[in-house]
Amino acid sequence: MNGSSKPYYTFHTMLHERFGEKVYKLALNGGMTCPNRDGHLDTRGCIFCSAGGSGDFTPDNTLSITEQIETQKAQILKKRPVNKFIAYFQAYTNTYGPIRHLEAVFTEAISHPDIVALSIGTRPDCLDENVLQLLSSLNIQKPVWIELGLQSIHERTARYIRRGYDLDCFLQAVSNLHQRGIDVIVHTIQGLPGESLEDMLNTITFLNKLPIQGIKLQLLHVLSGTDLARDYENGLFSVFTMDEYLDVLITCLEHLSPEIAIHRLTGDGPKDLLIAPTWSRAKRTVLNELHHRMHIRSTWQGRLYHS
């Protein structure tokens, strides 16, 4: 499918189609915060979010953006030859801040000769007109992708995880970005407390109808120091076993539009913070088992079709 040996449209395949070669993401820290942390909406953050604001793997923000890029490039080039990179602003909410600061850090990143695209993780309620105009101007220079943390379409789940915005806000953000020709990658979480397989599939089906280009399917991780960890330790919910997660993930992939690129399939929980599920640390094992099961299922379905 889509020129890939894997039975879904991979991020790797999409990058080869667009840039003609291997491209690596560089996780950058723009020194942002979040309205769910600075008191604008709340001070506790989303219930699952670590103190690092999903940026536990990003560099120290005391380094300039160029220094962060060069440091990470050097680490990658020790292992493999790579010529092109994506500047990924990951930690916290990366369109939440003074517009002059946003313009400065994004322009520094996108102007680097080895950067071929700019990917920005943010919230749909932090995309006002000034930010949209900035993103549009940057998108003329090089591709700009916006990563939106939706997690789930269900309002009861949104309240539980303290997301802080409603579904209409998300839909408006997707529309605004689409009108400006900016790619949208949506983050979802599989295994959120209280959600059934049907709930998760409803989120996937809903997203299929929207003008989005990518998705991240994130396994729910319970991280130390979060309110989610408190609920887990109090026995209020359980996490997936690997078998359960693979069954859910395969079903989600089978329902997802083949035109939407898969940017993530499990996610990485920081080893020093991860409480559960501990099996997710063996990411390569999980992915290998996923592809094995999908191959078996497709072979079996093909035999049924031709019988």
- Over the stretch 147-174, which tens digit does the pLDDT of each residue have? 999 999 999 999 999 999 999 999 999 9
Alpha helices in the chain (DSSP H): 11-19, 65-77, 99-110, 129-141, 155-160, 167-179, 197-208, 227-233, 242-255, 283-306
For the beta carbon of residue 91, count every other beta carbon within 10 angstroms.
24
Are the beta carbons of 69 and 109 closer than 8 angstroms? yes
Examine the pLDDT at 17 and tell me if it is beyond 50: yes
For the segment 279-300, what is each residue's pLDDT rounded down to a tens digit?
Answer: 999 999 999 999 999 988 776 5
The whole model's pTM is what? 0.92
What one-letter code names the amino acid at 287? L
As given in the structure block, the two tokens for residue 122 are: 């943010």
Of the CA atoms within 13 Å of residue 214, those in its CB half-sphere come to 25
pLDDT of residue 286: 93
Strand order in the sheet with 115-122: 23-28, 84-89, 115-122, 144-151, 183-190, 214-219, 261-264
pLDDT of residue 229: 96
pLDDT of residue 57: 55
- Could you say which of 3.20.20.140, 3.20.20.70, 3.30.465.10, 3.90.850.10 is the CATH number of the domain covering 11-306? 3.20.20.70
Q: In sequence order, which residues have a C-beta less than 8 Å from that of residue 285 and are 6 or more positions away?
A: none
Q: Rounded to an integer, what distance in angstroms lies between the CA atom of residue 35 and that of residue 43?
A: 8
Q: Are strands 144-151 and 115-122 parallel, antiparallel or unpaired?
A: parallel
Phi, psi of 184 (to 5 degrees): -120, 130
Q: Rounded to an integer, what distance in angstroms lies between the CA atom of residue 50 and that of residue 270?
A: 10
For the segment 23-74, what is each residue's pLDDT rounded down to a tens digit?
Answer: 999 999 999 999 999 999 999 989 998 875 454 456 677 899 999 999 999 9
Burial string for 113-147 (b: 16+ CB within 10 Å, else e) reads: eebbbbbbbbbbbbbeeebbebbeebbeebbbbbb
81, burial (CB in 10 Å: exposed 0-12, middle 13-18, buried 19+): exposed
Q: In sequence order, which residues have a C-beta less than 8 Å from that of residue 261 and are 6 or more positions away?
A: 9, 10, 11, 13, 14, 213, 214, 215
Q: Rounded to an integer, what distance in angstroms lies between the CA atom of residue 106 and that of residue 118?
A: 8
Q: In 3D, which of 170, 182, 185 has the Cα closest to residue 123?
A: 170
CA 19 vs. chain centroid, Å, equals: 21
